[in-house]
Structure 1
Amino acid sequence: MADNPAAEIQLLRSQKAKLIDILSGDADFVLQHADSRCLLSPNGYQQVKACRVPCEKVTELLDHIIQRGPEAVQGLLELLNEPALQETFPMLSFTKDLHVDMLSSGIQETSRKRKSAPDLEDSVPSKQISNNGSSLVKEKQLLIVARTIGRSWKVIGGLALDIPNVKLEQIEEDHSLHVDRVFAMLRHWRNSQRGKATASHLHSLLSQGDFDLPLENIDFLLEND
């Protein structure tokens, strides 16, 4: 554990927005793993579980763990580096460097970095860019698309987005509302594609098959890419 316990909490807070964006792709998966490590109190678990919107569920989870103190935060940071989490959320790879930096640096080194380098939040670009220079698809865009896709969502997930049927079945079981299922599917696709998850690429995939999806409802994906 780090020499300065408060540094762990500060680190988690500095990356909170980024973690919410990534982990919301499968909030229930994260919750169950966190609960298996006893990172939440029984009441906290029920409170987080009751949240219906994925991003709100992850936000509540992170807030609860932060409130429980440095030990719980340390447990979460270790959990984020577990193979199961890294494989499910490829965009979590950045946490390995954060974790190592925090544990290997003493208080003096941490203070020196704070004076000589910008905060972690400042070093994260506000606009995510893909490998080819195009903008990555945004959460708001995914939500709009999710509201457009009908009951053939699993067909689209399997044929257009190349998501395994096992994962689609898990999403269906974890979410009771249709729009939540489709949104979780799209976020899983975005997380798995990483730098390739551009709005134009998503539009191309959804436009190729006969999925009974009105193309005029997703053409907005091409506007600002």
Structure 2
Amino acid sequence: MAEEPAAEVQVLRRQKATLIEILSADADFVLQHADARCLLSPHGYQQVKSCRIPSEKVRDLLDHVIQRGPEAAQGLLDLLKEQALQETYPMLCFVKDVQVETLCSGGKDVSRKRKAPELQNIVPTKQICSKGCGLVKERQLMSVARSIGRSWREIGRLALDISSVKLEQIEEDHSLHVERVFSMLRYWRTRQRGKATAAHLHSLLSQEDWALPPESLESLLETD
């Protein structure tokens, strides 16, 4: 009779579809963090890295970690609970409530008892994050993008908290400067979800160290 998968592996398998949906927002960010923790083999890392489609990249990452067994699976679960990952992917908050139980002496995996609570935690999280009222508009993002110069990478890293890996990817994908900055701002809006209001962006870009001229942010103060 085939041995039943470890509890950590079963948790990842149960949440696989949800994790793919969430982590695809920035597949490279979670990949680099997973590699830093040696959760993938060198060959596995290269395979996952070579994938260009975010959802497939996350899928391959999860499959590779699952195949490596319970230690790697637990390492990924611990990683997803860290502050950097929680801030980058707000919908990951449900992972904090996931606890992997150890096998009892009878060999039965008691982690199954936590399946229902885990899934219950996902639903309200999606409902909250999907409201997105007051999102900054694309024309406002383009207006701001035109006013950001060579310091766009610094603004992306320090003001918008976007990883260097993502900024490099944006730079490779767009040849025009304004399109790079616009793509960066759109990515920030996508990641922030319901928090991506014009007022929030105005506040971030008005900070002292990298403050943009007030006139360049006027579009963010429009009321219509």
Q: Same fold (TM over 0.5)?
A: yes
Shift of 1:154: 7.5
Q: Which residue of 1 aligns with 2:34?
A: 34
Bigger-Rg structure (1/2): 2
Cα distance, 1:29 vs structure 2: 1.5
Q: Given residue 168 of structure 2, which amino acid in structure 1 is its aligned partner? A: E
Q: How does 1:1-225 map to 2 (within 5 A)?
A: 6-98=6-98, 101-103=99-101, 107=108, 109-111=110-112, 113=113, 118=116, 120-121=118-119, 124-125=122-123, 128-130=126-128, 135=131, 152=142, 155=145, 164-166=155-157, 167=161, 170=164, 171-175=166-170, 176-178=172-174, 186-193=186-193, 195-196=194-195, 209=219
Q: Which has the higher contact order (CA 8 A, sep 6+)?
A: 1
Cα gap change, 1:109 to 1:103, in 2 (>3 Å): closer
Q: CA deviation at 1:25?
A: 2.0
SS for the counterpart of 1:52 is: coil
Separation in structure 2 between the aligned mates of residue 154 and residue 50 of structure 1, nearest angstrom: 33
TM-score by length of 2: 0.60
- So what's the TM-score if we normalise by structure 1? 0.60
TM-superposed CA distance for 1:104, in Å, is 7.4
Cα distance in structure 1, aligned partners of 2:180 and 2:67: 28
Residues 7 and 101, structure 2, Cα contact 8 Å, conserved in 1: no
Amino acid at match of 1:173: E
- Deviation, structure 1 residue 31: 1.0
**Residues 110/181 of structure 1: CA separation in 2 closer, same or farther (3 Å cut):** farther
4+ runs deviating over 6 angstroms: 179-184
Structure 1 vs Structure 2 CA RMSD: 4.6
Figure out how many residues of one structure are paired with residues of the other and give that number.
Answer: 186
Q: CA 1:31–1:169 in structure 2 vs 1: closer, same or farther (change >3 Å)? A: closer
> Aligned residues: percent identity?
46
Gaps of 5+ in 1: 138-144, 211-225
In structure 2, stretches of 5+ residues that fail to align are 149-153, 202-217
